[in-house]
Amino acid sequence: MEARIIAGQILGIVSPIITFVSYQVNSKKKLLILQTAATLTTCLSYLLLGASSGFALNIVCIIRNIAFFFQDSKSKFNLISACVLAAVMGGLGFLSWEGPISLLVIIALAANTIFMSFGDAQLLRKSVICTSSMILIYNFCIPNPTIGGIINESVAIVASIIGIIAFVKMKKEKRS
């Protein structure tokens, strides 16, 4: 196996570790810093593994995370900036076109960006089930499937389902 592929897989495996740590912090700013670090490692992994759409769109995700870091979470500007970033993702996705498989990552990351702007954790969890499933398929289908990406999206799906169930149970308990 080429050194480039091995390095890409290692970086890909570092990403879910950082993502896991990010779920343990209780500050939006710390969360976004860790999520940006995880996205950077994912971005570099995609670059080394030859997944051009994943690489290009994750650069925009880094910019998105930085923008959201500085924006007030209740600002209407969040949705406007998210729509602009989603449009940029669409354009970059087509510039880095790998074939129809690129649609999975383009649609998923653009949708995820929009859902993030709403500031509704439960809605974001529900969207992650769909968007992470799309990225999971992409991660299997790129020229060099990414082990870390597959782990990361699988964990995101499971964590979202657990979060949805826990939130529903908590809501029921409050009503009782």
d(CA 142, CA 136): 10
Span 105-120, pLDDT tens digits: 999 999 999 999 998 8
Q: Are 12 and 49 in contact (CB under 8 A)?
A: yes
Residues 6+ apart with CB under 8 A from 39: 15, 58, 61, 62, 65
pLDDT confidence of residue 175: 85
d(CA 99, CA 86): 19
Task: Please state, rounded to an integer, the average pLDDT across all residues of the chain.
Answer: 93
- Burial readout 45-59 (b: 16 or more C-beta within 10 A, e: otherwise): bbbbbebbbbbbbbb
Span 154-168, pLDDT tens digits: 999 999 999 999 989
Under the banding of pLDDT at 50, 70 and 90, the label for residue 142 is very high
d(CA 93, CA 91): 5
pLDDT confidence of residue 120: 87
